[in-house]
Structure 1
Amino acid sequence: MSEYDFSRLNDKEFEIFCADLLSAREGVKFERFKPGRDAGVDGRFFRSEGNEWILQCKHWISTPLEKLVKYIADSESVKVQKLSPSRYILALSHSLSRNDKSILMQKLSPFVLSPSDILGREDLSDILAKHPDVERRHYKLWIASSNVLAYLLNKPIHDRSQFELGEIIEASKLYVATVSHNQSIEKLESTSVVIITGPAGIGKTTLAGQIILQYVANGFELSVISDDIREAEGILDHDSKQIFYFDDFLGRNYLEALSGHEGGKVVSFIRRIVKNPRKRFVLTSRTTILNQGKILNDVFHNSNINRNEFEITLESLAKIDKAQILYNHIWHSEIDGEYVEQLYSQRRYRTIIEHRNFNPRLIRFITDAQRLEDVSPESYWTHITGLLDDPSQVWDHPFQAQLDDCGRTLVLLVAMNGRLITESELSEAFARYLGSPGAASLTGKKDFLLNLRHLSGSMITRFLVGEGHPFVRLFNPSLGDFVLNRYATNTPVLRQCFCSLKTLSSLKTLKDMLDNKIINDGVATEVIDHIFASVADMFFVGSNAEFVAQLCIVRSELGKKFNLSDRSLLKAIDFIAGEKCGICLLASARVLLWALRNGSVDKVAVEAFLVEAFTKDPGYDELLILVQLVKCFDVVVHQSLYDAYDQAITDHLIASVEDEFPDEEVFADSISQSAARRKFIELMDEKAFALGANDSSNVADAVIGYVDVDRFYDKYFYEAEREPDYEFYRDKRISWSEQSFSAVDPIDDLFSRE
């Protein structure tokens, strides 16, 4: 038997739920009344003249049961006597013992006809279990039921997805389902992909999370993509039900967006998802970022895909949606009553709801008790109007007034690194920053873990991946925009920050700032030169080879061209050649290629690098560089190297065609399976030749030996068109927003209190 967490509902939602549930139990329709001063009536059913049933609901979750029973005995019983119904039903979200029910029946006699008309939490759960249609209509209860939660939290989920799922479940109690909820479900069911766009703070991530929750509860396995679409490609399983989630897929700030976030790979993955009825893909992006991502738009166009086919745009919220969002946040917040009174005074809640800058993110901030430590009840309203009039203050005040220098340093390092950073990398960067000249004057405690604990949940988020590997990211993407703007003109801080990080992600952030004219060439050059000198002076100890290689490349792009007379560059090349090849290898390969062609690196070291690189599943771009390195070796003397490269091409082609078979190219003019196989071999030969294979025909033969072309042929010509296996939402579409709030009257009634 499932148990339900009624605390996730606010009082008005609880009344709506009880009216719906009792209507189902009794086979009648309880008429609901306006929220507010109910005179003892939350629901009513007329059987005939003078034969009236009354439903009363009490959802006083923070009130002790003894106090609630006393209130009912003293106040509600008087109301019931005046109403004199033929039947009175009382529903409470508290647990009730048999003795509690006896006391209540005695106080409400003779209008309560039997103990079954005094309903506590367990009674409501038992009735709800018999009416699954009611459960489904009340989304928050369904998601928070013990059965669903156990299923969600016990499913084997990849890496960070478990952490994300926990956050999504927690956020569901504040969720208000709008028309966009059902539109997004319908889009997913018709196309398998939805791109949720809208302005910052309007609720894209929240909507995406709640949609994902429904799919996971219905058997889909969640995989969260944090930074690179290759994360999803590595765990794509053709036969299992999977839902992939890529939040802010074009970048968590405008710098990443303007540079284009590997648009081609994202679009290619979308094409693969569309072809598989057991897959779903949810993406989010700010509208401005998506529109600025010209690279992505071009890729959509070139791939013959209409971006609008997948897009759902959150543009504005209806006033009643805004009211419900505000009310939900107030109900579930931990702010004291004095603060709440400031919102109700002179109906100020309407000022918030009707403000031009209203968005759910701002509401979350103004109702977060932790963020009000320096705000008195008397100044609370001024604080709110200030944030509404100038939303940039959301981060300005806590960043400037509530953090010391060490705290701001930690946030700065996370922001400049990009999407996320490992805790160990952040700890090392923090230590390097504090050890730099001039850092002695920084205020605050210099203990890393102390600062990490202090900032978690307000400025940064710490979470575990896989077998307990901790990562850190910014608490909110808008904080990244704030930090970038704040420090863009502070060259000394930028120089020290990037020098402390020493990560590939931080170099990407710096390059993006330059490309988008946030900083000029002079500042970028000064920062890069400072980083390069710093790591070179330390003989590259503690540095990653790919980081050093990328640093050399960026340095070259800024004017310090590769030159044999540059002794620091030659030392860097020696370091790169002496390190083992990592998973990321493109920059290292580019540097070693220049060095090999100019005779400044040991060929034995390069050969060892290549052999290792071939085992790292190199992608298309990496293969195009690796082949140039291979061609620097004599084919007769180093035949094994050429064979190893051909094997790397073979593995790449097998993986690529299994992931996305080139249907149109192979089957368009094929009249038989044998013709299709010949066409496939020709195509693989062409692709292998384009990648520089030593023996492209041999590669093609090897690929055909692994790929079952006949199976793809039968699937292409004979399998039926896609029949969605997720029929629940097609056959039984339920608009939670309409079902849950169809009886709720205007905003003032929602906010009225007993």
Structure 2
Amino acid sequence: MSGYDFRSLSSYDFELLVRDLLQAELNISLQTFKPGRDGGVDIKGYTDHKKSIIVQCKHYVNSKFSSLYKVMKDDEVGNIAQLKPSQYYLVTSLPLNPLDKEKIFKLAPAEFSTTERIIDSNGVNNLLNKYPDIERRHFKLWLSSINILETILHSAIHNRSNARIRAINEKIKYYVTNENYYKASEILDKNHYLILSGIAGIGKSTLAEILVYQHLQAGFEFVEISENIEEAWTLFKPDVSQVFYYDDFLGKTSIADKLGKNEDKSILTFINEISQLKNKRFILTTREHLLQQARMQYQRLADKSLNIATCIVELGHYTKVIKAKILYNHLYFSDIPESFKLELIKGKTYKTIIEHANFNPRIIESMVNSVNLSDLSAQNYPAAFIKNLDHPYEIWHYAFNNQILTPSRYLLALLLTARENILLNELQELFLSSSKFNVRDFRNAIKELDGGFIKTIRDHRLPDELIIRFHNPSIVDFLNGHIHETHEFLDDLLMGAQSFQQLIRLWGNHFMEAGYIRKAILFNPANFIDALERLALFVKREGNITFWSSFDQRLLHLASVYLATKQERVKSLILAVSSKLHEHVTDFRELIIFLAHISENKIFDAEQYNVIWNNIKVAIVEESHNTPSIRAFTDVKDMVQTFQTAFAPEELEQLRFEFVAYDDYKTEFSKMNISRELESYFYLVKEVAEFWDVPVPYEEEFNSKMRFLQGEETKRDDRDYDELKHHRNEERYENLQSEGEIDNMFSADSFRID
């Protein structure tokens, strides 16, 4: 039984719902008049005998009967008398008792003819029960309902993600169905995975969260990935319906440190696995330019099959009508004073906003947040709105420079250099590395920034720790631009840096086009190189901060720094770091790229180049001998294949021997319970064996286990796994054809929530 309170619907949404229900109930066609000064008409139609039917909708979710009665008595009775309909209906989201209905009926007994034409919230719910197809079409109604939310929250498999789920539920009321939703849904249904890509703030995460929530409602388990794809493999349950969500899987502004060793390979392996299973979904988001960078840097991510399932969320997909609804929903449900909304309406500023070239849901969201408008008057609100569209980061600029103290500003700049999801105590240690600030400054800064610039989150994996994140990705974009223009805190960040990884984050993705902060660094690179010298050989230290980059990553970035600065000190650092390669290498592909760049650009003379190359060869042997694994052997094979003539025969024989002597293949693949994972693993084993021209180890055991797993998976697929059916609104929001209709939507009455 439906029991909605309709709070997630705007006045306009409520009218569309009532129209659809009465069309079904009365078996006639009804026309909706858009919200505004309707003169007593919200919905109108005609009977077979051409007698007029008028429906008045009153979406009074926060009001009392006395308010509804007063409006009906003072305003609507006169309208009814002028319109003289054959049938008149009043539909309200308020619950009414029989005495309430009788009192309203007496205002216009001839037009109502019966109290049955006074339909309250209970009556609307009864109609929804009678016409469940209409209920399903209005997905915003049922998806955001308290019943659905409570069902999800009380499910044992979700109880560690309640805060996240509630946050998604809160977003639903703002969402406007558009072509992106239908396209993404179809791709996800067909492929079981989806990559949402687009510019910052366009709505990738919101669309992804809507899709996640729909799957939660259908009984899927929610798995949110925050660090790397290994989290997904760890939580993978073959017999459980699961939806995996990986937001910003290539990072928020740069891919410099996001993809760890073979992360691209692991992601593709996971995608391949998901695509074969009916009870799994995988949703990823990334900014479009980062996806293009990743495709250039990581060949596996350039796989043409990925293009099939890439849903590009482009601003061009937002029609004028969709933009109008996005703005309308955000204003309708916002907590800003009514006077601010009226100012947008008076001068028709809403038209300028809808038509603005920089229209972006994230900017709209920030400009209807009362926290960001504390220093604005209602009269100045329209001009400030347009200014922030003209200069998208202006809203953060004002708050950063005028509303927060210096320690808070420094903390935000520092957070740019920190790893994603940094723990509170780690961030405090970084903060205190500057002699300018103390513990009290840190605590006050966290309090000042929390909820505005940053958000603090408790992770179920670390229940006693707080995770710190930027509240909004656009803050990162603003800070990059701000430091580029002003150089504020740049020297402090360089002198206070505690890890090489922090410097990498400031420098950006090695050989890609220079970012904002890199340009600021290049204005006077001496301090940056000082910091590089201090941290280039740093591995670990006492305290909480243990994140650091591998030496192969350092070489790649140092080569980039040298090519940009031509500083001899950087060449010395490259030689020194190469001597440490035997201690830690994560990805020999990075070394292949590094060698290509130093050779092509003739950075070193022959003697220096040989020193670096010998250091790399030592690292290769160490990798094979000390940390043997199929991934290590694959990396070694790739390196030898690329530079085979540089290896002496005895060196090649040593590497071949390490592969043949390794005897843990059977142990490794015996732990695998998914055929695609096993297939990927053994493909690598076979590839390396063929390269060294040796027999494939344990081939018979592998084939036997593969047959067993494939048989088990076929049985699972034959079980009763129903495909998730998205109940989409077949009557997609009708287009508003004229300027006048959009004007009606943005009338003074249209934002009233009584």
Q: Is the 8 Å Cα contact of residues 335 and 367 (structure 1) preserved in structure 2?
A: yes
How far has the Cα of 1:369 moved from its partner? 1.1
How far has the Cα of 1:180 moved from its partner? 1.5
What is the CA–CA distance in structure 2 between the aligned matches of 1:727 and 1:257, rounded to whole Å? 36
Query: Is residue 527 of structure 1 aligned with residue 504 of structure 2?
Result: no
What is the CA–CA distance in structure 2 between the aligned matches of 1:144 and 1:158, rounded to whole Å? 17
Distance 1:5 1:550, change over 3 A: farther
Report what 1:154 is aligned to: 154
What is the CA–CA distance in structure 2 between the aligned matches of 1:338 and 1:715, rounded to whole Å? 61
What is the CA–CA distance in structure 1 between the aligned matches of 2:5 and 2:390, rounded to whole Å? 37
What is the CA–CA distance in structure 2 between the aligned matches of 1:465 and 1:234, rounded to whole Å? 16
Q: How does 1:181-330 map to 2 (within 5 A)?
A: 181-254=181-254, 256=256, 262-295=263-296, 298-301=299-302, 303=303, 305-316=305-316, 317-330=318-331
What is the CA–CA distance in structure 2 between the aligned matches of 1:448 and 1:122, rounded to whole Å? 52
List gaps (5 residues or longer) in structure 2.
560-569, 592-610, 616-621, 640-657, 750-754
Instruction: Please tell me the root mean square deviation across aligned C-alpha atoms, in Å.
Output: 4.6
Query: Is residue 355 of structure 1 aligned with residue 356 of structure 2?
Result: yes
What is the CA–CA distance in structure 2 between the aligned matches of 1:622 and 1:344, rounded to whole Å? 66
Distance 1:396 1:278, change over 3 A: same
How far has the Cα of 1:350 moved from its partner? 0.7
Q: Is the 8 Å Cα contact of residues 153 and 159 (structure 2) preserved in structure 1?
A: no
Report what 2:723 is aligned to: 726
Report what 1:342 is aligned to: 343
How far has the Cα of 1:193 moved from its partner? 2.1
What is the CA–CA distance in structure 1 between the aligned matches of 2:230 and 2:8, rounded to whole Å? 37
Q: Is the 8 Å Cα contact of residues 254 and 481 (structure 1) preserved in structure 2?
A: no
Report what 2:668 is aligned to: 651
What is the CA–CA distance in structure 2 between the aligned matches of 1:744 and 1:64, rounded to whole Å? 34
What is the CA–CA distance in structure 1 between the aligned matches of 2:732 and 2:433, rounded to whole Å? 51
How far has the Cα of 1:353 moved from its partner? 0.9
What is the TM-score with the length of structure 1 in the denominator? Answer: 0.77
Distance 1:344 1:470, change over 3 A: same
How far has the Cα of 1:244 moved from its partner? 1.7
Report what 1:709 is aligned to: 707
Distance 1:736 1:251, change over 3 A: farther
Q: Secondary structure at the match of 2:202?
A: coil
What is the CA–CA distance in structure 2 between the aligned matches of 1:362 and 1:562, rounded to whole Å? 43
Q: How does 1:65-84 map to 2 (within 5 A)?
A: 65-84=65-84
Distance 1:543 1:283, change over 3 A: closer
Distance 1:650 1:509, change over 3 A: farther
How far has the Cα of 1:63 moved from its partner? 4.2
Report what 1:33 is aligned to: 33
How far has the Cα of 1:158 moved from its partner? 6.5
What is the CA–CA distance in structure 2 between the aligned matches of 1:428 and 1:121, rounded to whole Å? 55
Q: Is the 8 Å Cα contact of residues 201 and 362 (structure 2) preserved in structure 1?
A: yes
What is the CA–CA distance in structure 2 between the aligned matches of 1:563 and 1:287, rounded to whole Å? 36
Which residue type is aligned with residue 462 of structure 1? T
Which residue type is aligned with residue 295 of structure 1? M
What is the CA–CA distance in structure 1 between the aligned matches of 2:432 and 2:258, rounded to whole Å? 32
Distance 1:162 1:515, change over 3 A: farther
What is the CA–CA distance in structure 1 between the aligned matches of 2:202 and 2:94, rounded to whole Å? 34
Report what 1:670 is aligned to: none
Q: How does 1:452-491 map to 2 (within 5 A)?
A: 452-466=446-460, 468=463, 469-488=465-484
Q: Secondary structure at the match of 1:540?
A: coil
What is the CA–CA distance in structure 2 between the aligned matches of 1:685 and 1:181, rounded to whole Å? 41
Query: Is residue 8 of structure 1 aligned with residue 8 of structure 2?
Result: yes
Report what 1:118 is aligned to: 118
How far has the Cα of 1:358 moved from its partner? 1.1
Q: Is the 8 Å Cα contact of residues 196 and 284 (structure 2) preserved in structure 1?
A: yes
Distance 1:623 1:490, change over 3 A: farther
List gaps (5 residues or longer) in structure 1.
578-583, 599-605, 629-640, 666-679
Q: Secondary structure at the match of 1:6?
A: coil
Q: Secondary structure at the match of 1:738?
A: coil
Q: Is the 8 Å Cα contact of residues 528 and 551 (structure 1) preserved in structure 2?
A: no
Q: Is the 8 Å Cα contact of residues 12 and 35 (structure 2) preserved in structure 1?
A: yes
How far has the Cα of 1:499 moved from its partner? 6.5
Q: Is the 8 Å Cα contact of residues 495 and 527 (structure 1) preserved in structure 2?
A: no
Q: How does 1:84-163 map to 2 (within 5 A)?
A: 84-157=84-157, 161-163=161-163
How far has the Cα of 1:371 moved from its partner? 0.3
Task: Find 1:509's aligned residue among 505, 509, 515.
Answer: 505
Distance 1:410 1:113, change over 3 A: farther
Q: Is the 8 Å Cα contact of residues 199 and 286 (structure 1) preserved in structure 2?
A: yes
Query: Is residue 750 of structure 1 aligned with residue 750 of structure 2?
Result: no
How far has the Cα of 1:543 moved from its partner? 5.3
What is the CA–CA distance in structure 1 between the aligned matches of 2:3 and 2:211, rounded to whole Å? 22
What is the CA–CA distance in structure 2 between the aligned matches of 1:503 and 1:122, rounded to whole Å? 62
How far has the Cα of 1:274 moved from its partner? 1.5
Q: Alpha-carbon deviations, 1:193-235, whole Å to 9, x = none? A: 2222222222222122212222221222222222312221222
What is the CA–CA distance in structure 1 between the aligned matches of 2:213 and 2:44, rounded to whole Å? 34
What is the CA–CA distance in structure 2 between the aligned matches of 1:84 and 1:33, rounded to whole Å? 18
Query: Is residue 620 of structure 1 aligned with residue 669 of structure 2?
Result: no
Distance 1:132 1:470, change over 3 A: farther
What is the CA–CA distance in structure 2 between the aligned matches of 1:48 and 1:327, rounded to whole Å? 35
Distance 1:179 1:704, change over 3 A: closer
Distance 1:708 1:393, change over 3 A: same
What is the CA–CA distance in structure 2 between the aligned matches of 1:743 and 1:110, rounded to whole Å? 35
Q: Which stretch has the larger CA shift, 734-743 or 451-460?
A: 734-743
How far has the Cα of 1:423 moved from its partner? 2.2
Q: Is the 8 Å Cα contact of residues 273 and 281 (structure 1) preserved in structure 2?
A: yes
Q: Which stretch has the larger CA shift, 652-661 or 410-419?
A: 652-661
Distance 1:661 1:352, change over 3 A: same
What is the CA–CA distance in structure 2 between the aligned matches of 1:101 and 1:550, rounded to whole Å? 77
Q: Is the 8 Å Cα contact of residues 37 and 747 (structure 2) preserved in structure 1?
A: yes
Report what 1:631 is aligned to: none
Q: Secondary structure at the match of 1:244?
A: strand
Distance 1:459 1:646, change over 3 A: farther
Q: Secondary structure at the match of 2:219?
A: coil
What is the CA–CA distance in structure 2 between the aligned matches of 1:156 and 1:736, rounded to whole Å? 36
Q: Is the 8 Å Cα contact of residues 35 and 747 (structure 2) preserved in structure 1?
A: yes
How far has the Cα of 1:459 moved from its partner? 0.8
Report what 1:396 is aligned to: 397
How far has the Cα of 1:429 moved from its partner? 2.4
Give the % identical residues: 27
What is the CA–CA distance in structure 2 between the aligned matches of 1:745 and 1:212, rounded to whole Å? 37
What is the CA–CA distance in structure 2 between the aligned matches of 1:586 and 1:546, rounded to whole Å? 17
Q: Secondary structure at the match of 2:469?
A: strand
How far has the Cα of 1:271 moved from its partner? 1.8
How far has the Cα of 1:165 moved from its partner? 2.7
**Corresponding pairs, count:** 680
What is the CA–CA distance in structure 2 between the aligned matches of 1:292 and 1:358, rounded to whole Å? 25
Q: Is the 8 Å Cα contact of residues 204 and 314 (structure 1) preserved in structure 2?
A: no
What is the CA–CA distance in structure 2 between the aligned matches of 1:490 and 1:159, rounded to whole Å? 45
Distance 1:686 1:156, change over 3 A: same
Q: Is the 8 Å Cα contact of residues 198 and 286 (structure 2) preserved in structure 1?
A: yes
How far has the Cα of 1:186 moved from its partner? 0.9
What is the TM-score with the length of structure 2 in the denominator? Answer: 0.77
Q: Alpha-carbon deviations, 1:633-667, whole Å to 9, x = none? A: xxxxxxxx99997437732675396443439x9xx
Q: Is the 8 Å Cα contact of residues 196 and 314 (structure 1) preserved in structure 2?
A: no
Q: Secondary structure at the match of 1:111?
A: helix
